[in-house]
Structure 1
Amino acid sequence: MTALAPHLTAFLCEHLPRDRNASPHTVATYAHCFALLVRFATKQLDSRPSDLRIEDLGPDLVLSFLDEIETDRGNCARTRNARLIAIRTFFRYVEYKVPACLDQALRIRALPKKRTDTALIDYLTREEIEALLSAPDPRTVSGARDRAMLHLTYAAGLRAAELLSLRLEDFPDRSLTTVRIKGKGRRERVLPLWRETQAMLRAWLAIRPQAETPELFLNRNGEPMSRDGFAHRLAQHVAVAAQKQPSLLQKRVTPHVLRHSCAMHTLAATGDIRKVALWLGHASIRSTETYLRVDPAEKLAVLAAHAPPPVKPGRFKPPSDKLMTMLAEARNGT
């Protein structure tokens, strides 16, 4: 039996950043995945995390974990597939580090990804965004922090990882007019900030507790805010904002929905998908085209550019043949 802890530590702290040149965002995402997996495994096996063995993470347990994050955590199929990719990558590392686990690693890597639908994105209207941004109480430390987080996430269209990894040094010369974002795939971008967003950041920085960590946003223990912590605070503020905008109750509001909302409002304001891609930090404009599919203005422009064809209405004649009649009824579900 092979202890899991030393190999998982070497994978996250040495192999990913040194051998694969993975970005800090990627390492953090993989670490989050394995934190969830280890908690699930210890619960299933009634064991301590440090006592887990690589052999404990069999295909059946991994599949049960993937099902659990969909049902209990409400993750979508895309998130499930991302977790599976992280687990596969670890077991590819295990193949040459622990030859005794080769068969297990191959079985894990053979687990299939779940097919996903290309669904329309969710986003908030301007009225819903205004209600959400005003929900935190600025008279409290946590409220001032949350207002700054929500404003910055929406204004800059940030991913959750980009927001939570921000440091004080990412604001050039301690000025809050611009912010430097270290995005996905090691792509950096510099974005200007609205005066309202600057005001919220100044209010937070004025009361931010002194801490050794350089991260901009801290939890109540003075440690960097986590993804789950941010999502939990967001859910609380959505419940408050829903009192003014009941339509929020019909939507599943996640941190990424704020990024989608920024993209949709930027597209409506500029009409230029390239500017949206530049603002969000997309590597390819193909990633940004998903916002065109949900924007009705683009379809209306197409509709206005074409005239309907001059087709005269006709009369339907039912088929006379019995076989064709049966096929028509079967096709129509009658």
Structure 2
Amino acid sequence: MKSNSFWKKLKEYFGVYLPRQRNSSEKTIASCHMAWNLLLRFLLQEKGIPASGLKFESFTSAILTEFLDTMEDRKGWKESTRNNRLSCIRSFFKFAAYTCPEVYTVYADLCTIPLKKGTDNSRVVRHMPKDAVAEIIGCTDADTPKGLRDRFFLTLMYDTAARDGEMLQLKLSDINVDNSTICLFGKGAKPRLVPVSKETMQMFSRYKSLFHNDSKKDCFLFYTKHRKEKTPMSDDNVARFLKKYAAEARTRNVHVPDNVHPHMLRHSRAMHLYQNGMPLAMLSEFLGHEDPETTLIYAYADTEMKRQAVEKASKDLLTANIKDDSPIWESQDIIDQLLRGY
């Protein structure tokens, strides 16, 4: 075995090249380690190739594609995982080809395997269920000035499905108390009039008495004080307090996702309105979309959610009594044995 050039080169790759010459991170080495363990187990145990018979030319694009397809089917690899494993395997052959010219033909053959394209996520809308939104807003402390400001900001943002930039540009005069509407200025400074709920208007009354008791009408609705001067609130400030409340809410409600951002409130409100029966044409006007086609993402997302729910229910039913047939040799660490004197 020690005279086999393939095994010698593989040991050099993991023992010298990655950690010392290339100075790869532990994460990169672990990823390559995993990829090669899976591939070697597949060849030795599943394909029945003896270790002494493994040579550079044993690795063809056909057999590597078979391995990737098998793992994708058995382990449910996503496209990104499959592509990562393929890159880890090919990187070894690229390394070997530098000192062993005969390996270059093998490397060139493996390079013909295309990376797998992922699912088109351009129409995927990340949004939250109503209980998650309520949990986040509920984490604000309305008994403190700052907490009241944050609660009103998040409530108004969700209620009107406003963009972050639209919220930060609001002036005190943009809210009409008489007819409970707000004037938002969207992309291209295009104005649109949006109705505001009675509950949100009541919160505005309390917020105004605390933050705008003597303000002029052209004062920014949301502001921070810097050297006693009122300055417009920044989008960084909004992202910061939303992240804080979302993290707290996540400990109470599993439906609160990771990486909650301000625009997710807009998506969530739009999705909830659509699910409650608001026609797409009206929703498009409510959101201030210049192109009504843009609003179709909510119809697609709602349909996709229903489809995934049906598929999951079917899968759970059909696979309930299926045993796991994963090979018992999947825990064997071949690379570790090689480095310790395989």
**How many Å separate the matches in 1 of 2:234 and 2:215?**
16
* Higher Rg of the two aligned structures: 2
The CA distance in 2 between the partners of 1:206 and 1:284, in whole Å, is: 39
Secondary structure in 1 aligned to 2:232? Answer: coil
Q: Does 1:227 align with 2:227?
A: no
Query: Helix, strand or coil: the match of 2:184?
Result: strand
SS of structure 2 residue aligned to 1:190: strand
Aligned-partner residue type, residue 163 of structure 2: R
- Report SS of the residue matched to 1:207: helix
Q: How many corresponding residue pairs?
A: 184
Three-state SS of the structure 2 residue aligned to 1:214 is coil
User: Is the CA contact (8 Å cut-off) linking 2:123 and 2:297 kept in structure 1?
Assistant: no
Asked whether 1:187 is paired with 2:194, we answer no
RMSD: 2.3
Q: 1:189-244 deviations in whole A, cap 9, x for unaligned?
A: 11111111112211211110656771001124332110001111111111222232
Note the 1:199-214 alignment, pairs <5 A. 199-208=202-211, 214=219
Instruction: Work out whether 1:152 is the aligned partner of 2:156.
Output: yes
**1:58-77: CA deviations, max 9, x gaps?**
xxxxxxxxxxxxxxxxxxxx
Q: How big is the shift at 1:150?
A: 0.3
> Which structure 1 residue ranges, 5 or more long, are not aligned?
1-115, 304-334
Match of 1:143 in 2: 147
Q: Could you say if the C-alpha distance between residues 226 and 245 of structure 1 is closer, same or farther in structure 2, counting changes exceeding 3 Å?
A: same
Is 1:238 aligned to residue 242 of structure 2?
Answer: no
* Per-residue deviation, 1:252: 2.0
Per the alignment, residue 282 of structure 2 pairs with 275
Q: 1:215 aligns with which of 217, 220, 235?
A: 220
Pick from 188, 195, 199: which aligns with 1:196?
199
TM-score under structure 1 length normalisation: 0.51
Q: What's 1:285 paired with?
A: 292
Q: CA deviation at 1:119?
A: 4.9
Higher relative contact order (CA 8 A, sep 6+): 2
* Number of the residue aligned with 1:258: 265
What SS does the corresponding residue of 2:255 show, helix, strand or coil?
helix
Determine the C-alpha separation between the residues in 2 that align with 1:162 and 1:119: 23
- Residue identity over aligned pairs, in percent, reads 28
Whole-angstrom distance in 1 between the partners of 2:305 and 2:293: 16
Query: 1 CA distance for matches of 2:306 and 2:252?
Result: 31
**Do the aligned partners of 1:123 and 1:258 also contact (CA within 8 Å) in 2?**
yes
Structure 1 counterpart of 2:129, from 125, 130, 134: 125
* TM-score, structure 2 normalization: 0.50
User: Could you tell me which amino acid in structure 2 is paired with residue 122 of structure 1?
Assistant: R
CA distance in 1, matches of 2:154, 2:278: 25
CA distance 1:131–1:298, change in 2 (3 Å): closer
Q: Is the 8 A contact 1:176 1:198 kept in 2?
A: no
